[in-house]
Amino acid sequence: MIWNLEMETMPRSRLAEVQLRLLQHQVRRVYERVPLYRQKFDDAGVRPDQIRSLEDLARVPFTRKSDFRDTYPFGLFAIPVDQTVRIHASSGTTGKPTVVGYTANDIRVWAEVCARSLAASGAQPGDVFQNAYGYGLFTGGLGMHYGAELLGLVVVPASGGNTERQIMLLADFGAKIIACTPSYALTLAEALAARGIRPGQLPLRYGVLGAEPWTEAMRDEIEEKLGITAINIYGLTEVMGPGVSNECVEEKNGAHVFEDHFLVEVVDPETGEPLPSGTMGELVFTTLTREALPVIRYRTGDIAALNVGPCRCGRTFTRMSRVMGRTDDMLIIRGINVYPSQVEAALVGLPELSPHYQLVVTRERTLDELEIKIEVSEGFAGEAPARLDLAARCREKLRGVLGLTANVTLVASGSLPRSEGGKLRRVEDRRKL
Ligand code: ADP
Ligand code: ZN
């Protein structure tokens, strides 16, 4: 179902007109109201009235996470704090949390894009929706909550964690849709299996999963083990929260960016030069309608590619590929760039393995060592020779994909850390210690 037919299916030429008008207004606004933006524009020799086309955006300086930290907590706000109705903060995966604010209208827009996301994921008014994203400063819980209410869902505000209770609620209240991180969806799947509950026995049909990188292999696993259709949702606190983009259930191939609110670019992470559609690079967002905290050309650190081609669902908004990783959680091992998600991609199709793995990086004097711990699947009862053979095959496959040799350690099913409700850390970089 398309929640906002008029906006989500508008011709791209019309969209460009809408975007340009909003962009010009937004750029003028931040220049007048936010000292940091005025300073950046002046330093770059750019005046707001020089933005005459969408291409002119490339002249505007970037905003980075460090700009949030330097102006902590409210220095990037474009309105006095007493005119906001809510404050959120990012989960601080990569350092001190960044603080964001919302006006009443910002909350309405956010609910709109989350309603669109849920509708695109298969939700229909009247469906029971278990919201297992964390409520609190983290944007996931409350963001989805307001969107779900707007769409007319019956919201079960379960929040993250407490697997025992999640399962009870799923069974007793009969949610048809759940929202949580993909790693937590696997935790739930395993917990259900451990209780002898088979996929399909519960009314659950759709998962709206995001907030951390995941892969097609993981999607298959989740869909099979939970008996659901798993949909990718993307968002980030600095830009809004969840609902910046969302896959459609018709194609499940790239997440439609809600471009009437978020202008998206992909740039070369090294040079900052805009890259053409279809090329992998760093996602950069400009908010077009946000009042309290507009961001201009925000460097996300997320690596992905755009696809502006038409989609079977009828939406005209561009689709972003899965996020390959973050520029800042990209590991550089012996000079080679490694994204944790590549490990997963390399090991697809080995039935002896579970989807759980962990990367441990150490440094012996000057040489980096990468150890990849992989859990064998529950049924795998291989003796020493079979284990050796399996480890060797993993090493080979990983070498092909990563371009370096890693030490593979097979560990028992269930022994690696699981998501306890939030984002899962898959990397342990011991080199800094
Ligand atoms: P933090 O950057 O502290 O984790 P957020 O909670 O705002 O703060 O998380 C936003 C980040 O989470 C994004 O920049 C991206 O790296 C990641 N993320 C969110 N959704 C997805 C998704 N569907 N796929 C991959 N990564 C995602
Ligand atoms: Zn689509």
The total number of residues written for the chain in this structure: 433
**Token pair listed for 422:** 């939030």
Instruction: Show contacts of 102-109: CB within 8 Å, 24+ apart.
Output: 102/292, 102/293, 103/79, 103/291, 103/292, 105/291, 106/240, 106/290, 106/291, 106/292, 106/293, 107/146, 109/240, 109/261, 109/289, 109/290
- Give residue for tokens 């962990």: 358
**Token pair listed for 172:** 């007793």
The count of other CB atoms within 10 Å of the CB of residue 206 is 22
Predicted local distance difference test score (pLDDT) of residue 91: 60
Q: Residue 244 — φ and ψ, nearest 5°?
A: -75, -40
Predicted local distance difference test score (pLDDT) of residue 92: 57
Counting from 1 in the atom list of ligand 1, the atom nearest the Cα of 65 is 2
**Of all residues in the chain, what percent are helix, strand and coil, respectively (each to 5)?**
35, 25, 40
Distance CA 161, CA 246 (A): 23
Predicted local distance difference test score (pLDDT) of residue 340: 85
Predicted local distance difference test score (pLDDT) of residue 371: 96
Distance CA 234, CA 193 (A): 28
CB-based contact 183:423 (threshold 8 Å): yes
Predicted local distance difference test score (pLDDT) of residue 334: 80
Mutate to test the pocket of ligand 1, among 285, 302, 328 (most ligand atoms within 8 A of CB): 302
User: Is residue 253 lining ligand 1, measured as CB closer than 6 Å?
Assistant: no
Distance CA 235, CA 143 (A): 10
Q: Where in the chain is the domain with CATH 3.30.300.30?
A: 331-429
Least trusted range by pLDDT, from 71-80, 88-97, 157-166: 88-97
User: Is residue 245 lining ligand 1, measured as CB closer than 6 Å?
Assistant: no
Counting from 1 in the atom list of ligand 1, the atom nearest the Cα of 95 is 3
Fold of 1-327: Rossmann fold (3.40.50)
**Token pair listed for 328:** 């800042």
Average pLDDT, stretch 280-301? 97
User: Is residue 234 lining ligand 1, measured as CB closer than 6 Å?
Assistant: yes
Distance CA 190, CA 399 (A): 30
Beta partners for residue 256, in sequence order: 246, 319
Counting from 1 in the atom list of ligand 1, the atom nearest the Cα of 93 is 3
228-242 burial string, b = 16+ CB within 10 Å, else e?
bbbbbbbbbbbbbbb
C-alpha dihedral, 184 to 189 to 190 to 194, nearest 10°: 140
Kindly tell me if the per-residue pLDDT of 275 is higher than 90.
yes
User: Is residue 323 lining ligand 1, measured as CB closer than 6 Å?
Assistant: yes
215-249 pLDDT, tens digit each: 898 899 999 999 999 999 999 999 999 999 999 99
Kindly tell me if the per-residue pLDDT of 94 is higher than 70.
no
Predicted local distance difference test score (pLDDT) of residue 73: 93
Distance CA 330, CA 266 (A): 17
Kindly tell me if the per-residue pLDDT of 41 is higher than 90.
yes
Distance CA 264, CA 29 (A): 19
CB-based contact 208:182 (threshold 8 Å): no
User: Is residue 242 lining ligand 1, measured as CB closer than 6 Å?
Assistant: no
Kindly tell me if the per-residue pLDDT of 328 is higher than 80.
no
Beta strands 229-236; 206-210: pairing state: parallel
Q: Is 207 helix (H, G, I), strand (E, B) or coil?
A: strand
Higher pLDDT, 343 or 177: 177
Beta strands 255-257; 241-247: pairing state: antiparallel
**Token pair listed for 64:** 């980075």
CA 308 centroid distance within chain: 19
Q: How far is the CA of 12 from the centre of ligand 2 (A)?
A: 14
CA Rg value for the chain = 22
Mutate to test the pocket of ligand 1, among 65, 93, 240, 321 (most ligand atoms within 8 A of CB): 93
355-380 pLDDT, tens digit each: 899 999 998 877 889 999 999 998 88
Q: Is 74 helix (H, G, I), strand (E, B) or coil?
A: coil
Average pLDDT, stretch 263-286? 96
Predicted local distance difference test score (pLDDT) of residue 422: 82
Q: Whose CA is nearest to atom 19 of ligand 1?
A: 211
Predicted local distance difference test score (pLDDT) of residue 311: 98
100-140 pLDDT, tens digit each: 999 999 999 999 999 999 999 999 999 999 999 999 999 99
Average pLDDT, the chain: 93
**Closest ligand, as measured to the CA of 301:** 1
Predicted local distance difference test score (pLDDT) of residue 364: 80
Q: How far is the CA of 90 from the centre of ligand 1 (A)?
A: 9
Instruction: Show contacts of 396-402: CB within 8 Å, 24+ apart.
Output: 397/346, 397/347, 397/350, 398/343, 398/346, 398/347, 398/372, 400/346, 401/342, 401/343, 401/345, 401/346, 402/336, 402/338, 402/342, 402/343, 402/346
Q: How far is the CA of 248 from the centre of ligand 1 (A)?
A: 19
CB-based contact 343:398 (threshold 8 Å): yes
341-370 burial string, b = 16+ CB within 10 Å, else e?
bbbbbbbeebebbbbbbbbbbeeeeeebbb
Query: What SS3 string covers 322-378?
Result: CCCEECCCCEEECCEEECHHHHHHHCCCCCCEEEEEEEEEEEECCEEEEEEEEEECC
Distance CA 12, CA 267 (A): 21
Q: What percent of the chain has pLDDT over 70?
A: 98
Predicted local distance difference test score (pLDDT) of residue 12: 98
The CATH number assigned to the domain with range 331-429 reads 3.30.300.30
Kindly tell me if the per-residue pLDDT of 250 is higher than 60.
yes
User: Band of the pLDDT at 424, cuts 50, 70, 90?
Assistant: confident
